[in-house]
A and B are shown apart, each in its own frame.
Chain A
């Protein structure tokens, strides 16, 4: 069945460091791919999405490209800030939504 595997955390980075969080998926058909972010004590909110192969989603300096050949949707940011500290979830939208296990990111000044 459909599933998502994402990089385990926690991840700790210094401010202005480069961020990559890996995400790969297994799916039948042509799913949409998403990154959601969860700040402490809050629900999840959509960070970015891509609905077809080679699409690039971007928001708030974060980017991810839908790669069908490698079944991946890695999240990247060139320079992280303390305010980016959160848990990041990769998700696949097929027959249903399937979420990865989440990657906790802490950015230290």
Chain B
């Protein structure tokens, strides 16, 4: 079972560069989301989607862009990387459109360093 797959696992960028973190799930989940994990701050929601063609902002959306053209994929784009975006990024999905009662399934994470 693949579950939620994130690529790449590690990435080093220079300030100002752009890149895309990929996320794919094979569970036909409607809900997908991106979190960043920083020491002492837990997980913070960046963007989320409740279905193909529908996205919305979370707690910390600035500097990030998302789209959801298919049920399976939910890429996260960094438009112009900054050192403050150095973090571990997690993609998560849920079967239900409102995830509050359902289980979130997480990918293994993508560690991004911005120099």
Which residues of A come within 8 Å of B, CB atoms? 31-32, 36, 41-46, 49, 51, 89, 93-97, 99-102
Query: Are A96 and B42 in contact, CB atoms less than 8 angstroms apart?
Result: no
Q: Check A96/B99 contact, CB under 8 A, given A43-B109, A101-B40.
A: yes
**Besides A31-B100, A44-B90, A101-B40, 10 new A-B residue pairs in contact (Cβ under 8 A), listed by A number:** A36-B104, A41-B108, A43-B90, A43-B108, A43-B109, A46-B104, A51-B101, A93-B100, A95-B100, A99-B43
Q: What is the chain B residue whose CB lies nearest that of A92?
A: B100
Of the candidates B4, B92, B104, B109, the one having the most CB atoms from chain A within 10 angstroms of its own CB is B104
The interface residues of chain B lying within 8 Å CB-to-CB of A99 are 35, 42-44
Which residues of chain A come closer than 8 Å to B108, judged between CB atoms? 41-43
Q: Which residues of A are found within 8 Å of B42, using beta-carbon distances?
A: 89, 99-102
User: How far is the CB of A72 from the nearest CB of chain B, in Å?
Assistant: 18
